[in-house]
Chain A
Amino acid sequence: MTESLLAVRGLSKHFVSGNETVPVIEKLSFTLGQGQSLALTGRSGSGKSTLLNLLCGLELPDAGTIVLHDRVFEAGGAAARRTVTAWSTLRRQHIGVVFQEANLMPALSLLENVQFRAQLAGRDPANSEDWLTRLGIGELAQRYPDQVSGGQRQRAALAMVFAMEPALILADEPTGSLDRHTSDEVARVLFDLQARHGCSLILGTHDAELAAGCQQRLDLGHLNAV
């Protein structure tokens, strides 16, 4: 087994709606090796998005520990400010996040979007056009997000993520709004490039076929199962 990139121990998260506490994640533990892929599955509302948010620091857990890229994040630590900053740095340089929609800045062209993201991560933006070509949309580089199809937009989002050479990609329903055919195509490039560049991938989806493309699977329907 490869060296572990991510280790989650006893992670819990609940939301408060009204005066009711809704536990979403309870005492979840798992590890993910470098270059490995993990599918998060489960019914709608089972906590896939919540877990992905926890894994990149957009939400903070109530309890548990996350060790990612040699950094340790303890829940409820005194230095909350420092935690937030540390997560920011990690996201900036090492974690690529892909959502179902709206991953691109509307006022920037596809190429400019990729350049922006690469630059933020401290990578050379000169390779941006290559990435778009590798994702099959090189000739659309100058177009704006509203001038291309949904599938092309998701490819651009993937180009953006790969251009930052991430250690971990978090993808939340990346093909959720695409038709079957396009969805398969986008998924194929994603798995292909992920394997070739050796980064890890966590993919939240309720699409069984897509989940099958990953090496591991975590069903949030059954809490704490690996």
Chain B
Amino acid sequence: MKGLPSLFSPTFPALFLPRALLSHYRRHPLQLLALAAMIVIATMLWTGMNHLTSQARASLDQSERAVAQRQQVVRDDGRALVVEDFVSLRLAGVCVMPWLEVTPETGSRLVGIDPLAAHCFGAGTGASQALDQPLDGKPFVDVHAAASISARDSHLYLLTPETTQTTGLPGGYYLKTFSASPDTGELGDSFVLNLEALGVLVLLITALLLRSVYLLGLAQRRDSFALLHRFGVPPGRVQRWLALEILALSLVSVVPGVWLGRWLAAGLGSGFGEALDGLFDIPLYAGQGQGWITPVLVMLAVVVIACLGDLLLLRFRERFSLPLPARAALAIALLAAGLAMAWLAPSLPWVFIAVALVFAGAGWLTPAAIAHLALWRAGRSKAPLARWRFRELAVLVRRLTLPLVALQFALAMVLAVQALVTTFEDTFDRWLGQRLEAAYYIEVPSRTDGHKAAAWLTGQQASAPGLQWHRVIRGKAQLADAENPGGPQVDVLAVAPVGSLVRAWALLEAAVQPWGALASGEGVMINEQLARRQNLGVGDSVQLTLGAQPRALPVLGVYPDYGRPVGEVLLNAATLPDNFDVRFESLSVTPGELGITQVTSALEQIWGVNELSLRDNGTIRELATGVFDQTFALTRAMTLLTLILAASALLMMGWVFFSARAWYFRLLVVWGMQQREVAGQLLRLALLVTGGIAVLALPLGIWLTWVLVHRINPLAFGWSLPMAVYPVFWLELAVLNLAIGLSIAALMRRQLGRPVVAPVSASALMGGER
């Protein structure tokens, strides 16, 4: 005491305060460490997430722009294109641009393009826009550079604008759509959107955790603040120093956090890059000039708002502080408004606002609701021990509000992401299974006759049991309606015969005996995108211009069609008009007893070619599923990491709470309860808390799944996924929660064993709050 006045004399006014404030952390270095670690981990998680998302988006954008026009010229004889082809096509006046894909001996795939050759694509088209940009960004390089790389594998494509007609080509060439893998552009967007939403949730959860750790520290320093106040330091000055302190701490911690996040992204990025590459045919290019400024500023803002938010809002809070029932009513109102808005929202931003409202309402309501329920149960308990336990539960929940809410959000997020990911996997697997019903896919070479091949296959049918096949013809059609004769273009998928290979398709909506009706040409089926966009259903009819005349065809069924944005109609190829412009033709064949070599050699003979473009079911499926596994493993890892963070924060806060309250638990021992019994009570308390949170996280998670699957996806992409729930995963989460509860109880039990000094006061700080 003696030294204080001199320290506090006007000669030291600026230094005394920070020293007094910092002395707390000198005595409790672990607290400072925990706070810093929390900031670092929060920053790392979010930066990693953000980095991956922006990389994915940039890659998607660039590749989409570059291949906006997906048409290529290929040789009739099926041989690979060479430079001479390019020269002869350009000499014939055809606009073509070389697209050279090379896989170097080491490193990832590159695409070489020739910007000069792309000028004939015309101004304003996607390709030229993409190519007008400097090409120093990977993976696009100059075609000459690409050609000079010693490559493991290289393939030349010649792209041509959509305006190019088959008739304009010299002999020996034909047109083909350009896509190296299934067109999954919208799926890529969906993926990025989900990543982004996840990033925001991660940020929110970590902000809550940060806040809880910070407030804990503040509470423990309350006595020293009171002391400073008594020494005559105005509270405003203390607050300013506190703000400065947290700002300095976050600056020190955010920078390594961002660095770690980028490191995490780079580490995960290799797997992630492969996933993107395989799934969307987009090579991930690392090292894009993503600045440090943005993540650092965002995280600084988050830390400041999370820690000092109410300091800034103090005046506001004083003026508008609400009594408890009013606050609960407000939370319920937020929740209800959010739920209604999510249901009715006409566009994506509204859905996101709705999600924010629901989370705010739920986060506000959950701890209050558990505490309320506990108090109500305590009031009804006749047994004093049960009454005590429920009262303690209420205190515990109020004290651990922030980490509990964070855990609830994390659980809900993990639940939703898991359901979404699993649904994606399941649905795609089934959908792929349907689409890839046949064992082999054989492209019908241009200028050859699909009819002859079909006739041959029909002839074989009697003598070859197990042979299943159909022709697939792709092209375009124009939709029309009464007001608008020139409606949007849709893809045409025509099959004939409408046999067992398509009849197994699951339909979202169907007329009676839809396949029979389709086979007899009585109507068409449409994909979900078209149904949603045009508001069509079974019983409606579509005006379709297939050749010359528009025809009205009834809708017989709606089928799911994932990963493609465009509308599509499925019809019997036998009903196509003769002048239908066939863009692509193939045969889907399950050879049965015939054997595929017999089929291919017969077809080669019929078509007079030496080689067929043949793909088999197994490799396509293997590729697709492998890619999904990788992508989703990443998403899962991110969410699980967040969950683990939330769990450890709860563990830490629980431990701090129980340490302060240990005396009162030991009081039970003084009153003659055995340690074993008290430990049992502790266990029940801990399990009630974590169990309650898990139970309340469940509806939130299911709701979030519903929003992702039924609101966000359809609004963003036009197709929805079936909503599925996975109780086994709930069980896994329940077990995880059980483990958290058990750990808290075990930690507390250790404290029980030690002698506890009686608190000198019954303050909240001493664990004496009710």
Contacts and interface: CB of A to CB of B under 8 A. Distances in A.
Interface of A: 56, 58-59, 84-85, 88-93, 95, 97, 99-103, 105-108, 112, 115-117, 119-121, 125, 144-146, 153, 177
A91 B672 contact: yes
A46 B165 CA distance: 106
A92 B394 contact: no
A91 B384 contact: no
Nearest to A177: B760
B770 A106 contact: yes
Interface in B364-417: 383-385, 387-388, 391-392, 394-395
A144 B671 CA distance: 19
A101 B761 contact: yes
A1 B384 CA distance: 40
B762 interface: yes
Given A101-B762, A102-B759, A102-B768, A120 B671 contact: yes
A91 B670 contact: yes
B673 interface: yes
Interface in B663-677: 663-664, 667, 669-675
Contacts of A108: 384, 387-388, 391, 770
Contacts of A177: 760
B758 interface: yes
B769 interface: yes
Contacts of A90: 672
Given A107-B395, A108-B388, A116-B384, A121 B770 contact: no
B672 A146 contact: no
Contacts of B388: 105, 107-108, 112, 116
A45 B385 CA distance: 35
A101 B673 contact: no
Contacts of B387: 108, 112, 116
Nearest to A128: B384
A105 B672 contact: no
Contacts of B392: 107
Nearest to B385: A116
Contacts of A88: 669, 672-674
Contacts of A100: 758
A1 B392 CA distance: 47
Interface in B748-770: 755, 758-762, 766-770
Contact of A92 (B384, B664, B672, B762): B672
Given A108-B388, A125-B384, A144-B770, A102 B672 contact: no
A102 B664 CA distance: 8
A88 B672 CA distance: 4
A177 B760 CA distance: 9
A99 B759 CA distance: 10
19 contacts: A58-B669, A58-B670, A88-B674, A91-B670, A97-B670, A99-B758, A101-B758, A101-B760, A101-B761, A102-B768, A106-B762, A107-B395, A108-B388, A108-B391, A108-B770, A112-B388, A120-B671, A121-B672, A146-B762
Contacts of A117: 671
B759 A107 contact: no
A134 to B, nearest CB: 20
Contacts of B768: 102, 106, 145-146
A114 to B, nearest CB: 10
A103 B672 contact: no
A89 B672 CA distance: 6
A143 to B, nearest CB: 11
A125 B383 CA distance: 10
B387 to A, nearest CB: 6
A102 B673 contact: no
A92 B758 contact: no
Contacts of B391: 105, 107-108
A126 to B, nearest CB: 12
Contacts of B385: 116, 119-120
Interface in B226-285: none
